[in-house]
Structure 1
Amino acid sequence: MPDDALEILPIRPDDAGETLTLQRAAFVQEALIYDSVQMPPLTQTFDEIRAELVENLGCVARENGRMLGAVRARADGDLLLVGRLAIAPDVQGRGIGSRLLEAVEQRGRDAGCRESELFTGSLSEANLRLYERTGYRETTRVQGDDGIEQVFLRKPLG
């Protein structure tokens, strides 16, 4: 994909509807991996997403107006908390996730964050590969109430 065809823009509350649709489409694969549709990205409501997007440091990726990817982030002191990276299934593997992470990390730096943290399920091998390839390193694993082990990763933003 030519770099000039993909726009990376700050996420806005008005993006909530498209973000919800994209998120649900992208997380279906995760639901299959974990044999459960009872995961927050699939149960989150439009109103919850819209409220979350107020003062959010996240970004969206658009090509010819179509939202191809989205990621949310917020600053917690000097820590950037990154979440809900979602890429449309038909364009996964084109580098959009890496571009979104790079953009959101820059927004975090601009907001004074010195380190970034995200998490994914331990069976989400493609996610773990992406995060490690973009400089994230595992810091801890936490057993969830649902029996799914969450892998937390961090990356310095210096």
Structure 2
Amino acid sequence: MKLEHDIRLAEPADAGEILTVQRAAYVSEAQLYGNPGFSALTESLDEVRAAVEGGGVLVATMGTRIVGAVRGVRDGQDCEVTRLVVAPDMQRRGIARALIEAVERAHAAQVRRFWLHTGDRSEANLRLYEKAGYSRYRTRPVSPELSLVYLEKLA
């Protein structure tokens, strides 16, 4: 069942709820890799608030609840799509795909390429990104338990 959601630019008052969704969403990744130290899980409220105040954070809402978020971080002609999160109880409803499309629309006029990365064992993430038009271009070993897969898409 697909429920309606809206996507908007995050406001500083959203930082706490964004952090809650982010931590909830990354628990499964931490379990998959046996690593509770992912930066998404250790990021502070002040760091999330600073990202929001920087203007690059979008949130998906259902009513008054934030159910997802994504950041677009521009660097010259490139935009990193990062911290894509959806509340665990709201996953598999098209919210992540809608957030990817929204961040691409928000930055398409200013960049030539979007890129992101995920863990090599994060099969659902890899499927999502590839269905959204991203192609793998690099794999970087981080530890014996983790390699990062980098994907890109031209604007």
Matches within 5 A, 1:6-155: 6-110=5-109, 112-145=110-143, 147-155=145-153
Q: TM-score, normalised by structure 2?
A: 0.94
Q: How big is each residue's C-alpha offset from its partner over 1:99-147, in whole Å with a ceiling of 9 and x where there is no partner?
A: 000000011114x111100000101000000000000000101111574
TM, length-normalised to structure 1: 0.92
Distance 1:71 1:136 in 2: 16
* Counterpart-to-counterpart distance in 2, 1:147 and 1:52: 29
- For 1:93, what is the secondary structure of its paired residue? coil
CA distance in 2, matches of 1:31, 1:8: 27
Query: Which amino acid is 1:150 matched to?
Result: L
Instruction: Count residues in correspondence.
Output: 154
Matched residue SS, 2:101: helix
After superposition, what is the alpha-carbon deviation per residue over 1:61-114, rounded to whole angstroms, capped at 9, x for unaligned?
00111111000111101111110100010110000000000000011114x111
State which drifts further: 54-63 or 76-85: 54-63
Query: What secondary structure sits across from 1:38 in the alignment?
Result: coil
d(CA) in 1 for partners of 2:66 and 2:147? 30
Note the C-alpha offset of 1:56.
3.1
Counterpart Cα distance in 1 of 2:43 and 2:52: 13
**Structure 1 residues 77, 95: CA separation in 2 closer, same or farther (over 3 Å shift)?**
same
CA deviation vs aligned residue, 1:37-59 (integer Å, no higher than 9, x gap): 11111111101111122223231
